[in-house]
Amino acid sequence: MNFMPQRFWGVARAPLAAPADHPLVNYGRIGVLLVNLGTPDGTSYWPMRRYLKEFLSDRRVIEANSVVWWLILNMVVLTKRPFTSGEAYRSVWNSERDESPLRTITRSQSDKIGALLARDPRIEVDWAMRYGNPSIKSRLEALQEKGCDRILIFPLYPQYSAATSATACDKTFDALKEMRWQPAIRVVPPYFEDPDYIDALASSTKARIAALDFEPEVVISSFHGLPRSYTDAGDPYYCHCAKTVRLLGDALGWSENRLLLTFQSRFGSAEWLQPYTADTIADLAQRGVKRVAVMTPGFSSDCIETLEEMGIQGAEIFLENGGEKFAALPCLNDSNESIDTLTTIVKRELSGWVDF
């Protein structure tokens, strides 16, 4: 730690020295923390149960009556769902690393962004999960130990929702409550209409479709669903998703009939944002559409919802209803387009802390 000369009434004084027993304090560095949704540590019952309990106990995710939901969650959901969810995760699990694809890809995104920003030795890039490991708290503490007294939190959700972006911030602020010396915090805003993000989606979509052995008649742009009541209460998520699709359609030069907006992953019996992806896939096949591709621009990384729900379940629904060719297009993941976009956003949001 450096101590600067002090002035009292204009007279220079000797540098102040810390007491001999003063603890070592690292400071002066800048952290960037990428935050994704979460992942279980394994596919067996207990890791899945721990993950699902943390996820489904979040009041940002489930806004039902807390007493009633506690009974449903602990007496019904957590006795059955860990088995079915574990089976779904096993179908897409990264067996080589023994981890979910989401963990693999998020780590790679962090490593690649860190490499691009390594020109400034003050910057440290890390990653965390809102649910599961590594936790937000553990990575904030690790960044602080490395001397990061300014940290940029980057929720990896292009479209804002209280159930995603806000709960990542909640967990961040919960960790800050326990810190004696809090770092200064910035949060990356939603980037659903960011030109670099739209260009990356358009470029990736063109390349992914060109690599197929068929030309899709319709491309479905599927986003994770949200209860309708959440948007009625003021959540901007639907509007963000709709604008992303409109801008992407403009960038691709496609009509509204070629690029459809839908919502997947409905849970429970309440009304969710519509149209539902599964129903749309079945309806297209029943109406004679033979070739369909699904993209998921609301996910920054491939995960259970994109690989299993769309790639496996979506294909089964389409083929069972008379379709012939179906493809689930990969997310941006850790592609060059993705890393360039995310790095550009990080640089912009670090402005004033770092001069690039």
Where is the binding site for Fe(2+), in residues? 224, 305
CA–CA separation, 70 vs 93, rounded Å?
Answer: 29
CA–CA separation, 268 vs 245, rounded Å?
Answer: 26
CA–CA separation, 107 vs 49, rounded Å?
Answer: 23
Of 164, 91, 32, 106, which is closest to residue 333 (Cα–Cα)? 106
Q: Determine whether 140 is exposed, middle or buried from the number of CB atoms within 10 Å of its CB (0-12, 13-18, 19+).
A: buried
Please work out, in degrees rounded to the nearest 5, the angle formed at the alpha carbon of residue 211 by the alpha carbons of 281 and 322.
25
Residue 37's alpha-carbon distances to 26, 52, 215, 219, in angstroms, are 30, 12, 33, 25
Pairing of strands 218-224, 325-328: unpaired
Q: Determine whether 347 is exposed, middle or buried from the number of CB atoms within 10 Å of its CB (0-12, 13-18, 19+).
A: middle
Feature table: binding site: 224, 305
Q: Determine whether 135 is exposed, middle or buried from the number of CB atoms within 10 Å of its CB (0-12, 13-18, 19+).
A: middle
